[in-house]
Amino acid sequence: MARILMVASEGLPFIKSGGLADVVGSLPQELVKKGHEVRVIMPMYLKIAQKFHEEMQLEAQYSVSIAYHEVPVNIWSTTRKEVKFYFVEHKGYFERDGLYGYIDDGERFAYFQKAVLEMLNQLNYFPEIMHCHDWHTGMLPAMCKEGHSFDERYRNIRFVYTIHNLAFQGNFGPEMLDSCLGLDYRIFDNGNVRYDGGISFMKSGILYADKVTTVSPTYSQEILTPQYGEHMEMVLNIRKYDLWGITNGIDIEMWNPMSDPDVPYHYNKVNVAKEKKENKMALQKELGLTVDPNVMLVGAVSRLTWQKGFYLMMEKLSEICAMPIQVAILGSGESGIEEKMRQLEEGNKGKIAFYNGYSDSLAHRIYAASDLFLMPSLFEPCGISQLISMRYGTLPLVRETGGLKDTVTPYNEFDKTGNGFSFANYNSDEMVQVMYNAIDVYYNRPEDWKILVRNAMNTDVSWEKSAETYCQLYAQLHP
């Protein structure tokens, strides 16, 4: 069994902006159950400092060189379910209102990665495998292999690099190599980190890691093509024989309709039909929808962006409004989509509810109360929402891309198989056609609907299978 250090820019239960945090929160615990020793390190953001600082211990104090200055580092730690979490503290870099999107993001995460590498030396803790996530940690394999190759302790570390979102690549000016990362311009000149005239943290991670993974088998193939490759497909093709697609799971203790504290009526496979109606009526009251336990409720919990397929919805709003359904949408994102959703709610009071923003507890209630969950993504590396919705007996309606294709099996009216509904092309006519099909099954073939709900709730959405695959991957690097 291996000593593994996960390096990430966010993770539950401490901080979350996207699916990366769910993975970093759940996967280490699952790996510990399988006998690995797992630790995690991330930045100490403002919200983490405010909420968790009192329970932490100071582990180390040292400095690293950034922009030719010695910058202090404090390392704090706390433990959750046998997983030790480290936090890199620097008030100036990390104690801000947001996590990302700042002009000095390159410098901030160069500092973070330097702090991680030096922490190993300070604590005399050297993992056998360093598992790096997304662009924020992409330079670590290069920094270790190019800058520490003289030190056997660093030389023995093997690197796994996981791509959660290929669209964000950490592309910065070449001067950062010397000033912040302490790396030789040689690796810019030879093309190893050069990208579009500057450097790319993600390209570096892909080329220098020993194994590269992404978060579903279908997506791992899609990203080798220009359509999904985000201009990184040539680089990924170089590593395609070391590229693994491993589907995410969800924390089935946190997402459990039998014990969820945010859901008023608890249920399992036996009483799902009855209690889902109770949850539906409670949510209808809460959101100002017409109270009707028999109407089909369609839920969506999402970032409101082009990636999530909301442009398809915009094309067919009048048709969707005419359907015999209610719609509950929770999310925020592009201002144009937000405005359209507000107008939609205004013109369809009692039928459409839009909660602009994010509420974790409301998300739980939408999953529990809805009959159908809408997720028509343009691309979706893995997707967490469709896994949660199946866990709650809510049938996902998805586009067949990435992890959605891998996890949702479309309804087959002949042999009654499937755990949801799907359509193949990014096309609003196809989406509406499948919505009509789902509505038809819900109202006219209730026995089929019950079978599909049972199939969905029987789908294994835990980390068990995925963690086993990660174990196989680690075993190739650390026999």
Q: Which residues are annotated as a binding site?
A: 16
Residues β-bridged to residue 69: 66
- Sort strands 352-356 and 325-331 into parallel, antiparallel or unpaired: parallel
The token pair at 262 is 């945010």
Q: Which pairing describes strands 57-66 and 69-80: parallel, antiparallel, or unpaired?
A: antiparallel
CA-wise closest residue to 61 among 77, 42, 83: 77
Residue 100's SS3 state is coil
**Residue 370 CA neighbour count, 13 Å, CB half:** 32
Q: Which helix (H) or strand (E) holds 214?
A: strand 211-214
Identify the burial level of 294 via C-beta atoms within 10 angstroms of its C-beta, where 0-12 means exposed, 13-18 middle and 19 or more buried: exposed
Q: Decide if 384 contacts 390 (C-beta within 8 A).
A: no
Distance separating alpha carbons of residues 472 and 3, to the nearest angstrom: 14
Binding residues for ADP-alpha-D-glucose: 16
Amino acid at the residue 478: H
What phi, psi does 220 have (nearest 5°)? -65, -25
Give the C-alpha separation, 216 to 214, whole Å: 6
Could you check whether the bond before residue 13 is cis, i.e. omega within 30 degrees of 0? yes
The one-letter amino acid code at 64 reads V
- According to DSSP, the β-strands at 83-89 and 69-80 are antiparallel
Max Cα distance, the chain (Å): 70
- The answer to whether the CB of 232 falls within 8 A of the CB of 169 is yes
Helix (H) / strand (E) containing 337: helix 335-347
Cα–Cα separations (whole angstroms), residue 340 to 138, 315, 317: 37, 11, 10
CA distance 406 to 479: 29
Could you tell me the strand order of the sheet in which 171-172 lies?
Answer: 171-172, 198-200, 194-195
Buried/exposed code over 303-337 (b: 16+ C-beta within 10 A; e: otherwise): ebbeebbbbbbbebbeebeebebbbbbbbbbeeeb
